[in-house]
Amino acid sequence: MKCKTLHKDLIFYLDNELPIEKRKEIERHLEMCADCRNFYSFLQAEMQIIGKEKNPEPSPFFFTRLSARIDERPDFRQQSLWNRVAQPAFFSLILIAGIYGGLRFGSHASSGAIHQTSSSSVQLLNDFESEPIESFLLDQ
């Protein structure tokens, strides 16, 4: 095995990701090549840094600061309230108003017989009458 070949696989050797033959080959080379051995120690020490940097101590005031940021931005709370309650209520109201208006208009148009020219739209509006209002709300 050449030094160059070893340098390509050493990081996978460190992570135990190589087949057994390849591992053995690398170990044989490391035993007799001081330069590769040095690089191996260097690489190993570098990768061990990851373990030392993992999981830093959390800041004790993290949540206090976070709460303060939420409190100083009242729009956060209002926004969540709007999303939760006001927004669905608002759209339900519009929907109900629309359905009610449609029914009123529909019944007016069919009973009034003022202008029968747009009979297809009257037919369409009359269809609303045959369906219960609850089904519209359930679809939402």
Residues in touch with Zn ion (CB under 5 A)? 3, 33, 36
CB of 23 to Zn ion, least distance (A): 16
CA distance linking residue 44 with residue 26, whole number of Å: 14
Residue placing its CB nearer to Zn ion in the complex, 3 or 94: 3
CA distance linking residue 133 with residue 107, whole number of Å: 15
Residue placing its CB nearer to another protein in the complex, 1 or 103: 1
Residue placing its CB nearer to Zn ion in the complex, 40 or 109: 40
59 by DSSP, 3-state: which?
coil
**DSSP symbol at 55:** S
Cα–Cα distance list, 6 to 39, 76, 114 (Å): 10, 56, 93
Using CB under 8 A as the binding rule, whether residue 58 contacts another protein is answered as: yes
CB of 111 to another protein, least distance (A): 44
CA distance linking residue 52 with residue 115, whole number of Å: 84
Contact residues for another protein, defined by CB under 8 A: 7-8, 10-12, 15, 38-39, 42-43, 45-46, 49-50, 52-56, 58-59, 62-63, 65-66, 69-70, 76-77, 79-81, 83-84
